[in-house]
A and B are shown apart, each in its own frame.
Chain A
Amino acid sequence: MRKVERLKARNRLGLIFFPAFDWEIDPTHPERQERLLYTRDQVFEEGLLDIEGIIEYKPEIATAEDILRANICVPDVEAVCTTSHLISAGGAIRAAELVLEGEVDKAFAIVRPPGHHAFRVVHGARGFCNINNEAVMVEAIRKKYPDIKIAFVDTDAHHADGTQEIYYHDPNVLNISIHQDGRTLYPGTGFLHELGGPGAFARTLNVPLPPGTTDEGLLYVVEEFILPVLEDFKPDLLINSAGQDNHYSDPLTNMRVSAQGYARMNALLDPDLAILQGGYSIESALPYVNVGIILAMAGLDYSYVREPDYDAGKLKQDRAITEDIQRKVEWLQRIWEERDSIDLEKVFGKLDKFYTRDKDIYYDTDGISETQQEKVRVCPDCPGYILIDSTAVRSYSGRRTRIYAVSIPRLSCDNCHREATEEFEEMLSSHRGRYDYIYLQDLKKDKYIARGPF
């Protein structure tokens, strides 16, 4: 027998693979039982689980309280969240725990359904997401590590609007999203000027890429912009929200990234965690992209991973696209450099006690239109607290639900905490007539109260 070196991962990689083969949104929905079937077959056939240092783990099942730390569910967790969501979120939590406890160097949660389109307030499902599995994970981590610095690099083709919204005012979470330009794709957001609230300016960074962007454009953004930003921010935990719908074969998007591009990007980013988000070219892309990411994260040779129909000649990037990306990167680089010296009142206008945003949120999956006003307390000592007034209308039944919510972050100052709880009491005693439900999400005291229906 010829002596060969047995493969050994340079990074110990924990794999939480949970394809939920018995769960679907509905039989023909992209989130159907078949989604990760071919990925499983490819991973098994390549023998990845036999490689020393690649270890498979079961997901946890997140609890209702885990969900409540991230999402305010209307009317309650049970109504918007199935077991599959609890497992997907639990998979992300498990991945983070494995890394933070030093059991593995890195972890990849290949779980479904995704979560990055779920906002803080959840009236139903949007963009195939009900609850935000990444935010649930972050809040689970912060129970143990309250001031941990976290960076998300979301490489799904769709803007990570939910994760952005939840952490828009949180200076400890850097949220970078690379995606197909919102003018050409759901959810229609994620533009350059969305940069975070006054207390977390430039902690939200969006890189909208033109349709037709290839590996070249994606890797350019990573090397020229994201890596230097991460170098400055120095996160304690770097997470790749590994959506795979930038692939050239994806049926829902118009991008042209290959499995090699995804693998190389992960090698460059070198994230602690990767969490699968979207990606619906289940047969032609996912098997190869996932194998590429696993190998790259484990520090193994991924240069042989190729789609059977891969043709480098066909995946050349247009000059116009390259130039467009260069301009955006330049603009963002300037913002990043000036982030601490910028005059916030020039950006946000006169900053009073509260900074207010109005949002219209459409739930494509469930056909719900939500209008929301979000007021964040501008506080020199803490990230402030958030007051939300939200009305959802179901397009089929026309049923309206109006809720009020007070959300207090874990690191809020005592003064803000007192103000916020008084606000909650006041709303309950004097204004309940206007609302169907009133919620308190108090991360500082780890207390979650729902009142109603009134």
Chain B
Amino acid sequence: MIIGIDVGGTHTDGVLLAGEKSPAGVRHEIIATSKVRTKKDNLMSSILEALDVLLIAAGKTEIRRIVLSTTLAANVIVEEKYDPVGLILIPGPGLNPEHLLIGEENLLLSGYINHRGKEVKGLDREELLQGLDKMRERDIRNLAIVSKFSTRNPGLEEEILEFIREKGYPFENITVGHQLSGRLSFPRRVFTAYFNTAIMAVYRDFVSAVKKALAERNLDTEVYILKCDGGTVSLDRVMMAPIETVNSGPAASIMGTMAMSRVHLTKETAIALDIGGTTTDIGLFINGEPVFMPEGIEINGLPSLIRGLYSLSLPLGGDSRISVVEGRIKIGPERDGPAAAFGGPSPTPTDALLVLGYLQEDPAYEASADLQAARGALAQLAGELDPVGYGSFWQDGEFNLTGFARNIIDLMLDSIVGTIREILARLENKPVYTISELLAGIEINPKVLLAMGGPAKGLSPLLAEKLGYREELVPYAKVANAVGAALARPTLQTTVRVDTAASYLNIVEAGVHRKLKPGERYELEDVEELAITWTRKRAEDEAAAVEITERESFNVIRGFSTLGKIMEVKAQIKPGLISRPEGSEIG
């Protein structure tokens, strides 16, 4: 059996899944769920509480896999619950590095790697020595070392690391920039390295606490952590780049939608909507695959190199407060409490849906909703409305409450539809750099609206109609995140760069950077092969399905002779499910 636990802001949800072999593959069924309050300052106890409920339900059956989606990294960063981090930067010429100095201590060193990966200027050892001594004096234990173009040549970063070891400096947590990602962007590398170092100490404690807890329960189950790219990483490897697990919530939700719907099987292009109390989260699948954000995610307001699944959160949900501002209707962004129909203080979109009868067949709402309270709360707004713009709501002195409710829902729909269209337009207008791509154009035509969440039942048919999509309600929204975590597969990316003109080979994320041997020849296919092999090797999975995501090849010509080729290939194990739970029969 498999366990997935999703630590959310207010609740921690757990789910126990049982696999069953069928001709179509393994299918999973939800056996038990658990829900506990999240204790912000003790996530471990919340996780264990949720876990123990599931372990009881599992009885003696073996637990094969536990996956955690946690807010640990995000909490540590937002609340700055970490020891000071020293930044060592080797920016070389370019942008003024002032805006990058986010370390509690910052050391700028001379030295420069250029865009071809050539070391133009070496380190100044005296400068380095003095800088490191100063960090030691100030009792800095955490360090992030980043040079410009270290993805092209990690030499300077490694030299510093070596120097620190040689001289026995007492740094405990160190991140070197080049292993975080194969992508170019010095500022993102600096910020990512800083945050990675910042959370290392807390994460190490967390990993040992999890291991201890498992031992106490006599479990030797593999434990994985969900990353924000929708993939998992094992507890043993997470310390290599713990920052990848930051903000895994949206990924859990999208992987949950993938698990609970048929989108992965039908390979359709779909918009996923998770309509909650205060927010509506929008995700996107293209041909059944979740889509990555074009750039890395933001961490604490700063851009990073960490890949994340595309997700956009609108401050608009079933419990958003409806108010009238300067005579006009305004929805959200605040939530005052539950809907008026459930004892809340303010009218909400849920109240409007109830008044319109759009939620009536939903037993969850029917039983306890106070329709009179909903009507009353909405009617209270009537007096504040601009009599000109909303004059049509009065007929013979009578206020048309239904018309008003429909107007509120239309506003909400328009806002969601507008955002979806914007997202699609932004992705379609993404710059391309070849003529063939420009001519081919990008067109994203979703066919399906995958909706989940409390108010989804009322809203999604209306949304689907406005968008011209087919509507599909995804069940069990409440545990979808935990299911998504439970069934997510490991993901991994490898960047291989071969420059036969400069005669070197780089396997960026693995930290390999070496001269080509005499007689060593590469064509683009060989580089692709290398990227695939190394991805499997790093994933410790010889059979992993690896796809090439980017490839480019340029002849290097000086004068009239071809000196060689620059080839770069990116390969990945993409996010996916180890299997999917059985659609409507889950119980």
Contact = CB atoms under 8 A, between A and B. Distances in A.
Give the interface size class of chain A.
Answer: 35 or more
A309 interface: yes
Interface stretch (A45-53, A374-382, A402-410): A45-53
B186 A308 contact: no
Interface of B: 80, 91-104, 106, 112, 114-116, 120-121, 148-149, 183-188, 194, 198, 295, 300-303, 429, 431-436, 438-439, 552, 554-557, 559-562, 566
A317 interface: no
B121 A308 contact: yes
A11 interface: no
Given A27-B555, A34-B554, A307 B93 contact: yes
Contacts of A80: none
A308 B96 contact: no
Interface stretch (A54-62, A157-165, A265-273, A383-391): A54-62
A46 B190 CA distance: 11
B557 A283 contact: no
A301 B434 CA distance: 31
A225 to B, nearest CB: 30
Contacts of B566: 34, 37
B436 A22 contact: yes
Interface string A281-309: 00100011001000100001101111111
A322 interface: no
Contact of B562 (A28, A42, A301): A28
Contacts of A18: 431, 433, 438
B161 to A, nearest CB: 21
Contacts of A56: 431
* Shortest Cβ-Cβ A-B pairs, 10 listed: A47-B187, A306-B93, A308-B120, A44-B184, A41-B115, A22-B434, A45-B184, A301-B96, A34-B554, A47-B185
A22 to B, nearest CB: 4
A305 B431 CA distance: 25
A19 interface: yes
Contacts of B188: 47, 50
Interface stretch (A2-10, A171-179, A327-335): A2-10
A60 to B, nearest CB: 10
A308 B91 CA distance: 12
B495 to A, nearest CB: 13
B435 A87 contact: yes
A93 to B, nearest CB: 14
Nearest to A24: B555
Contacts of B187: 46-47, 50
Contact of A19 (B92, B93, B97, B433): B433
A48 B556 CA distance: 25
A379 B513 CA distance: 70
A168 interface: no
Interface string A26-47: 0110001110011011101111
A354 interface: no
A21 B429 CA distance: 18
A45 B185 contact: yes
Contacts of B101: 2, 4
B300 A1 contact: yes
7 contacts: A18-B433, A18-B438, A27-B555, A34-B555, A45-B186, A50-B188, A58-B431
B80 A1 contact: yes
Contact of B186 (A1, A40, A47, A295): A47
A61 B562 CA distance: 31
A19 B437 CA distance: 12
A17 interface: yes
A64 to B, nearest CB: 15
Contacts of A57: 429, 431
B107 to A, nearest CB: 13
Contact of A58 (B102, B185, B438): B438
A308 B114 contact: yes
A295 B438 contact: no
B116 A4 contact: no
B555 to A, nearest CB: 6
Nearest to B439: A83
A132 interface: no
Contacts of A4: 98-102
A355 interface: no
A38 B429 contact: no
A41 B184 contact: yes
Contacts of A48: 95
A17 B430 CA distance: 12
A19 B98 CA distance: 30
A20 interface: yes
Given A1-B80, A22-B435, A47-B186, A291 B94 contact: yes
A42 B557 CA distance: 19
Contacts of A300: 95
A384 to B, nearest CB: 39
Contacts of B80: 1
**Of residues B102, B183, B555, B557, which shows the largest number of chain A Cβ atoms within 10 Å of its Cβ?**
B557
B115 A45 contact: yes
A66 to B, nearest CB: 16
Contacts of A27: 555, 557, 562
A6 B99 contact: yes
B557 to A, nearest CB: 5
Contact of A5 (B94, B99, B148): B99
A291 B115 CA distance: 13
B112 A33 contact: no
A303 B186 CA distance: 18
Contacts of B116: 38, 283
A191 interface: no
A365 to B, nearest CB: 16
A287 B115 contact: yes
A50 B303 contact: yes
A412 interface: no
Contacts of A304: 91, 93-97
Given A19-B433, A37-B566, A47-B188, 5 more contacts: A1-B194, A34-B555, A38-B115, A41-B115, A50-B303
A174 to B, nearest CB: 32
A304 B512 CA distance: 30
B115 A1 contact: no
Contacts of B556: 34
A20 B435 contact: yes
A2 B103 contact: yes
A2 to B, nearest CB: 5
A83 B437 CA distance: 12
Interface string A307-327: 111100000000000000000
A23 interface: yes
A288 B102 CA distance: 25
A33 B562 CA distance: 13
Contacts of A38: 115-116
A418 to B, nearest CB: 42
A242 to B, nearest CB: 19
A94 B24 CA distance: 52
B383 to A, nearest CB: 41
A44 B435 CA distance: 20
Contacts of A17: 431, 433
A58 B115 contact: no
Contacts of A244: none
A46 B186 contact: yes
A291 B566 CA distance: 22
B514 to A, nearest CB: 21
Contacts of B552: 21
B433 A47 contact: no
Interface in A322-362: none
Contacts of A28: 557, 560-562
Nearest to A301: B96
Contacts of B562: 27-28
A217 to B, nearest CB: 23
A180 interface: no
Contacts of B98: 4
A84 interface: yes
Contacts of A20: 433-435
